[in-house]
Amino acid sequence: MPIYYNEDSKEFHLQSEKVSYIINILKNNQLGHLYFGKKLRHRDSFSHLYTSEAKANVACVFEGDLSFSLDTSKQEYPAYGTTDFREPAFQVLQENGSRVTNFVYKNHKIYFGKQKLAGLPATYVEQENEASTLEISLYDDLIDAELILSYSIFEQFSAITRNVKFVNHGKGNINLTRAMSASVDFFDADFEMVQLSGAWARERHVKMRKLESGIQSISSLRGTSSSQQNPFLALKRPDTNEHQGEVYGFSLVYSGNFLAQVEVDYYDVSRITMGIHPFDFNWLLQSGESFQTPEVVMVYSNSGLNGMSQTYHSLYRSRLARGKWRDQERPVLINNWEGTYFDFNEQKILEMAEASKELGFELFVLDDGWFGKRDDDTTSLGDWFVDKRKLPNGIKGLAEKINELGLQFGLWFEPEMISKISELYSNHPDWIIHVPNRRQSHGRNQYVLDFSRKDVVDYIYGMMAKVLDEAPISYVKWDMNRYMTEIGSALLPADRQREVAHRYILGVYDLYERLTTEFPDVLFESCASGGCRFDPGLLYYAPQAWTSDDTDAVERLKIQYGTSFVYPLSSMGAHVSAVPNHQVGRVTSLETRANVAYFGAFGYELDVTKMSEEEKESVREQINFYKENRNLLQTGTFYRLISPFEKDGNVTSWMVVSEDQKEAIAGRYQVLGKPNSGYERLLLKGLRDDVEYKIEGLHGSFYGDELMNAGIQLDQAVSGSLQWGDYTSQIFILTSLS
Ligand code: DGJ
């Protein structure tokens, strides 16, 4: 078992093939942190990694002892209020007003496997020997409360997961005012912090900054994980790049408010803390109750950012995503949203479906506008019954006709929302998230249903289950189009109002759990105004997510590149849409739009009936190409080659390689044509040195070592087209000759 405990040195060593993580029990019986990084040979004691020498001007724990201060100790789950002046991982408010605690080591358990987290998404194992778990119990005897820190280390992935459970065994109440999922103290601050930041239509752009003394953080207080900041942060060494060097990734498996911060102290120790945002959070723990934090997935790589991402990809694809669709090739879909918006009827949809079938599509998705009286975005959310004016034969009738054409049928919902112009609102005005006697702000004319209430979740479950039961629906797009304001719930007492934001997310997870269990064959795709809630929490229920409403091929380069830092290609909905593009007005070729969208869960989002015969022929070929290579594109090892965030951002490149390294597909994209440009080559990655590859369209053959070190000579390979023209792209298809 790769978790060691040494009774004498009081140290825990979690060790896998590539990673070590070492914890010790400190002099005051709290938990200290000794090491996280490249695998170390196990030995009886790592106490030499720990110093407790006296430092000047510190507050000390024991009377008469100037050598022990928490301020200068590296810790696992630091507490507030006693000799450590940095931000803590948790804070407990007690009935007497005290916030001081003393959680000390009581006992621990080590076992094969990994426990589920009650009500929360988390990575999992299928066989017990895939991971080992260490649970350390800390007790505060004065308040009779327990803190259980859980760590799981995977055999196969360079990943360690962490979560914390608080249990109130005492008679009184306690309040958690801060309950982070993980905290790690690094030895130094020689790092750059990597984050995925953005906004609607420009989600998950890669940003990097050097760590500086003090606190640097990213967060969301929007009620969802958000497009502004993704719940992910990495610390990389300054010389680490895509292909080499050390990087530590931290990814929070959660879809609500979060905080990820690094505090660099006066000795350049970097403390990273991640979890539910403590601002406006308070959890009342009554006698006998417990609170479970979400999981943090920590990844260590010494093969650069690609190494980190590849670990996240394989872990999230195979041990976070679940269900029938986890391992299944995703259907090529056509969605009517940008083709019709709200303006459609059964005849129009059937015309589109018929034309789509002829081109090779597999799934037709009917987006927003099929229910209530929804002719625009001002009405009907919550009224999940069909609008017979548009669809006289109901969803069932339409779905059956689409099935008869030979296509599967998918449907859009926005389960968490309500319009004031709706039957649901007339019957239940108190079902929205709101604060009595205060203004109720809207977003896109809509309001957020109070999913902290079980009766509300039950009702929406009933409505959705009815639709899914009655019609042959193979796919659901679960949208969510606004952030939360005036957060309050009509059912909860005053001292639980600051629980609403988290309870809401638990309600979302509950609904997802019930629907995915009841309808295991349905493929769920999450969405939030595009990619405003693209996070690991939702991947547990919905194995794919709509990456962005921005379908422009050039914008997508940055969005998909950034998203790939954590999320696998199979999770990234990527569609070809019409030009001029509806988000930025840019005109790019159909070829470039497809060349970008291939690197994701591929589909289209336009009215095929409006395409010329020539365009249709291209679409047919594109779909054929994707189907032929879908397995590789969805599950191959993904390498980012050239970043749109570096240099002038004019060129982006990436590739996928099959597990046996015999096949690969690379994409290269150029934003603007350049006059009289020099020689260019594209260096590939992930191939086998000694394997001879053929590249479709190029003369001769090439060994892997040539392609990875000398590269494809582009000016020869694709004569002229690289320098010539804007928004150009090439796809290179490699097949081994042996
Ligand atoms: C936002 C989504 O991102 C779009 O794809 C579309 O489904 C609209 N909502 C529908 O209102």
**pLDDT 10s digits, 273-304:** 999 999 999 999 999 999 999 999 999 999 99
Please determine, for residue 55, whether its predicted confidence score (pLDDT) is greater than 90.
no
Residue-wise pLDDT tens digits, 7-54: 999 999 999 999 999 999 999 999 999 999 999 999 999 999 987 766
Cα–Cα distances in angstroms (integers) from residue 675 to residues 171, 723, 725, 726, 728, in the given order: 77, 7, 10, 11, 14
Please determine, for residue 99, whether its predicted confidence score (pLDDT) is greater than 60.
yes
What is the predicted pLDDT for the residue at 51? 78
CB atoms closer than 10 angstroms to residue 51:
11
Mean pLDDT, the chain, integer: 96
Please determine, for residue 218, whether its predicted confidence score (pLDDT) is greater than 90.
yes
* Residues in contact with 455: Cβ distance below 8 Å, sequence separation at least 6, in sequence order: none
What is the predicted pLDDT for the residue at 320? 98
Rounded Cα distance between 481 and 502, Å, is 18
3-state SS track over 394-450: HHHHHHHHHHHCCCEEEEEECCCEEECECHHHHHCHHHECCCCCCCCCCECCEEEEC
> Which residue among 368, 370, 581 is best mutated to probe the pocket of ligand 1, counting the most ligand atoms within 8 A of its Cβ?
368
Ligand 1 center from residue 483 Cα (angstroms): 14
Residue-wise pLDDT tens digits, 442-484: 999 999 999 999 999 999 999 999 999 999 999 999 999 999 9
pLDDT-derived band at 410 (thresholds 50, 70, 90) equals very high
pLDDT-derived band at 662 (thresholds 50, 70, 90) equals very high
Q: Residues with beta carbon inside 6 Å of ligand 1?
A: 337, 367-368, 412, 479, 481, 527, 529-530, 546, 549
Please determine, for residue 565, whether its predicted confidence score (pLDDT) is greater than 90.
yes
- The proportion of the chain whose per-residue pLDDT surpasses 70, expressed as a percent, equals 98
- φ/ψ (deg, to 5) at 121: -70, 150
* Alpha helices (H) in 298-406, listed in sequence order: 304-319, 337-340, 346-359, 394-404
Q: Is 549 tagged catalytic? A: yes
Which one, of 421, 129, 166, 108, lies nearest residue 283 by Cα? Answer: 166
- φ/ψ (deg, to 5) at 129: -80, 5
What is the predicted pLDDT for the residue at 721? 56
What is the predicted pLDDT for the residue at 723? 62
Residue-wise pLDDT tens digits, 307-352: 999 999 999 999 999 999 999 999 999 999 999 999 999 999 999 9
What is the predicted pLDDT for the residue at 720? 54
Ligand 1 center from residue 527 Cα (angstroms): 8
pLDDT-derived band at 626 (thresholds 50, 70, 90) equals very high
Angle between helices 394-404 and 346-359 (to 10 degrees): 20
What is the predicted pLDDT for the residue at 722? 61
Query: 531: which DSSP letter?
Result: B
Ligand 1 center from residue 528 Cα (angstroms): 7
Q: Name the residue with the closest Cα to ligand 1, atom 10.
A: 368
Cα–Cα distances in angstroms (integers) from residue 66 to residues 54, 55, 80, 270, 444, in the given order: 6, 8, 20, 23, 60
Helix (H, G, I), strand (E, B) or coil at 637: strand
Which one, of 657, 454, 645, lies nearest residue 555 by Cα? Answer: 645
Cα–Cα distances in angstroms (integers) from residue 223 to residues 254, 431, 532, 634, in the given order: 11, 17, 11, 31
Ligand 1 center from residue 336 Cα (angstroms): 10
CB 641 within 8 A of CB 611: no
What is the predicted pLDDT for the residue at 678? 79
Q: Name the residue with the closest Cα to ligand 1, atom 2.
A: 529
Rounded Cα distance between 579 and 341, Å, is 15
CB 220 within 8 A of CB 195: no
Please determine, for residue 235, whether its predicted confidence score (pLDDT) is greater than 90.
yes
What is the predicted pLDDT for the residue at 716? 62
Which one, of 18, 19, 136, lies nearest residue 75 by Cα? Answer: 136
CB 344 within 8 A of CB 421: no
Q: Name the residue with the closest Cα to ligand 1, atom 1.
A: 529
- Ligand 1 atom with minimal separation from the 527 CA: 3
Please determine, for residue 428, whether its predicted confidence score (pLDDT) is greater than 70.
yes
What is the predicted pLDDT for the residue at 680? 87
Of 479, 535, 550, 607, catalytic: 479
What is the predicted pLDDT for the residue at 676? 79
